[in-house]
Amino acid sequence: MNNKSMVDYNESYLEQARGTYNYYVENTTVSFDLEPVTAEQMHQLIKPMNERYRTLIIQSDGQYAGYILFTQHKKKAAFQVTAEVTIYLDPAFGRRGIGSYAIPYVEQLAREQNIHSFVATICSENEGSIRLFGKLGYMQCAHYREVAYKFGRWLDLLSFQKRFD
């Protein structure tokens, strides 16, 4: 059936979100963290900074499937029109169209907050996210070479942007 829905993040989802994130920390280059995060660290990663930004829990058929957030891109005041979008799906829920549902959903929320563009930063090895964001109209705008080192190899970081004209 795969009915998708979004609910606002609250503390009751912290451990599920932390489990999802730590899976990617420990097993992939999706996250550039090297060690699993604690509950307090996870709280700091996903708690919205203020009412302008959001963190949402993604559900599929009523089950937790991951989380998505948009947050301040840079701390300087002039950047308030741009947000960074981040999505992490529970590995069991990949390749079900959930990202294609969740990203446009938060784009609309961002537009309502007068956000002009989203930026997504993605490890160059993360082919799934590169395809997903490309399919949704994001254009690659930067390629940072060998900016991280994990699992014994150098990693590149790509930036993708979508403007809400």
Q: Residue 64 maps to which CATH number?
A: 3.40.630.30
User: Which candidate, 117, 9, 128, places its Cα nearest to that of 68?
Assistant: 9
Note whether residue 123 is domain-resident. no
What string of pLDDT tens digits covers the 165 residues of the chain?
569 999 999 999 999 999 999 999 999 999 999 999 999 999 999 998 888 899 999 999 999 999 999 999 998 999 999 999 999 999 999 888 899 999 999 999 999 999 999 999 999 999 999 999 999 999 999 999 999 999 999 999 999 999 998
The model carries a pTM of 0.94
Q: How far is CA 23 from CA 40, 67, 91, 94, 111, in A?
A: 17, 13, 8, 13, 31
Per-residue b/e over 102-127, b at no fewer than 16 CB within 10 Å?
bbebbbeebeeeebebbbbbbbebbe
Give the number of domains in the chain. 1
Note whether residue 12 is domain-resident. yes
Note whether residue 17 is domain-resident. yes
